Amino acid sequence: MGTGLTECIISGLLSVNGKRVLHVDRNNYYGADTASLSLSNLYQKFRGAGAEPPSTMGHSRDWNVDLVPKFVMACGDLVKILLHSKVTRYLEFKSVDGSYVLKDGKIQKVPSTGAEALSSSLMGFFEKRKFRNFLVFLEQYDKTKPATYRNGKPLDQWTMSELYYEFGLDTNTQAFTGHAMALQTTDEYLNGPADKIADAIQLYAYSVQRYGKSPYIYPIYGLGGLPEGFSRLCAIHGGTFMLSKPVDEVMFGPDGKAWGIKAGNEVAKANLIIGDPSYFPTEKCRVVGRVIRSICILDHPVAGAEDAESLQIIIPFSQVPGRRNDIYVAVVSHAHMVSSAGKYIAIVSTTVETANPAAEVAPGIQILGRVLERFDDVSDLKAPVSNGSGDNCFISESYDASSHFETAAANVLSLYERLTGSKLDMSISADSTQEEDM
């Protein structure tokens, strides 16, 4: 239920495994929360029926505006899922121009190699050399080779805080390393084992090396192509799709287990009921937070980012006094065929901490410069209260505020394992694709 990316990936994978799949959505378009809207549809969604964009914005059909902004880590789990399912044959990707972090009000490129560390303006002279040594160590580290260990200890015997201290990295370097490279959303990782964070940093650096500009790729015509691609995979393998089909009720038996859904006078029976939280009774989910996303339309590139046509900027919470969560800025443009020529789409998002969400994205809005149009959306972040084995309700999690798909991909893998009892084969290498496919 629901054609968001998570649900479409799951339906595609299950259909390939021989399951009979019925996929319904209350909307008349694919994508649900991960849809990409034309400009007219965007105005009508946020400004009401009949609202139309000004003619200066160009043709509505030239626009594909994401409701949930996310970039794809070039060698991350989502790419492996795309390759595993061969959905890459339906999509075309292009690299994102840059990955940046905000420090002291200035946009700075995130270094990913020892050479970049030495030329980065993020750090002072002595800190650069410490960070270079840190990156060189991580690049050479191999858990199967004790000769690469630090002080004879593998990284699973270090906490990340201890490893930072070992290399003498200051709090500023720790902030952009943990949040802009390892993509951690809080500082809780500091007290956890260093091996997982090292893997994340290695993945970031390797993804940058693969595409040269940043670790991220993004589909031509917007993220809406991702759920559509997996929907096509499902349909090819016998799945049935029904759009504009509101679900009135999830049907439960006396034992408390779901056995089907009701839509009007029609009932569909199933052993597994899968969907996003909006389709299930409220007691099946819990609210774990709120997120604000501000969609901004610009007529200029973001200043200080080398006139990049697409980019990510992470504002670590340590750069904004009093905050506990990072702020994310994702920018795309006509280069990815998502806007008319000369226009840019910048989406600023963060986890809500106060009663004034719009003020919380102000640091991100400020670095954009002049904004032609702005559309704000605040929504609840929901998660299932159980794993689904007891009631046959397998519920996905809401998409968080981050501007990358790493947490969403982890949710897909978890949901797949809960449904099938086995892990999805992720042994495929992200290097197994051809350049023209990605």
Whether 38 and 60 have beta carbons less than 8 Å apart is answered as yes
Interhelix angle 5-16/225-236, nearest 10 degrees: 20
- The three-state secondary structure class of 281 is coil
The model's confidence at residue 437, banded by pLDDT at 50, 70 and 90, is very low
pLDDT at residue 210, rounded to an integer: 82
- Strands 22-24 and 327-333, bridge-based pairing: unpaired
pLDDT surpassing 60 at residue 433: no
Each residue's pLDDT tens digit, 11-60? 999 999 999 999 999 998 899 989 999 999 999 999 998 899 999 999 99
pLDDT at residue 257, rounded to an integer: 95
pLDDT at residue 290, rounded to an integer: 97
**Concatenated DSSP letters of 69-90:** --BEETTSHHHHHHHHHTGGGG
Structure token pair of residue 205: 């650096």
What is the percent of the chain where pLDDT is above 90? 82
Residue 375: closest CA among 51, 30, 19? 51
**pTM, whole model, 2 decimals?**
0.91
Each residue's pLDDT tens digit, 296-351? 999 999 999 989 999 999 999 999 999 999 999 999 999 999 999 999 999 999 99
Residue 98: closest CA among 299, 331, 317? 331
The model's confidence at residue 118, banded by pLDDT at 50, 70 and 90, is confident
Averaged pLDDT for residues 62-76:
92
Averaged pLDDT for residues 218-224:
94
The model's confidence at residue 432, banded by pLDDT at 50, 70 and 90, is low
Whether 35 and 41 have beta carbons less than 8 Å apart is answered as no
**In the Cβ-directed half-sphere of 399, how many Cα atoms lie within 13 Å?**
25
pLDDT at residue 177, rounded to an integer: 94
pLDDT at residue 403, rounded to an integer: 85
pLDDT at residue 428, rounded to an integer: 75
pLDDT surpassing 80 at residue 114: no
Each residue's pLDDT tens digit, 383-422? 999 999 999 999 999 999 998 888 889 999 999 999 999 9
pLDDT surpassing 70 at residue 431: no
Give residue 167's identity as a one-letter amino acid code.
Answer: F
The model's confidence at residue 242, banded by pLDDT at 50, 70 and 90, is very high
pLDDT surpassing 90 at residue 111: no
pLDDT surpassing 60 at residue 438: no
Averaged pLDDT for residues 252-263:
95
The number of residues making up the chain comes to 438
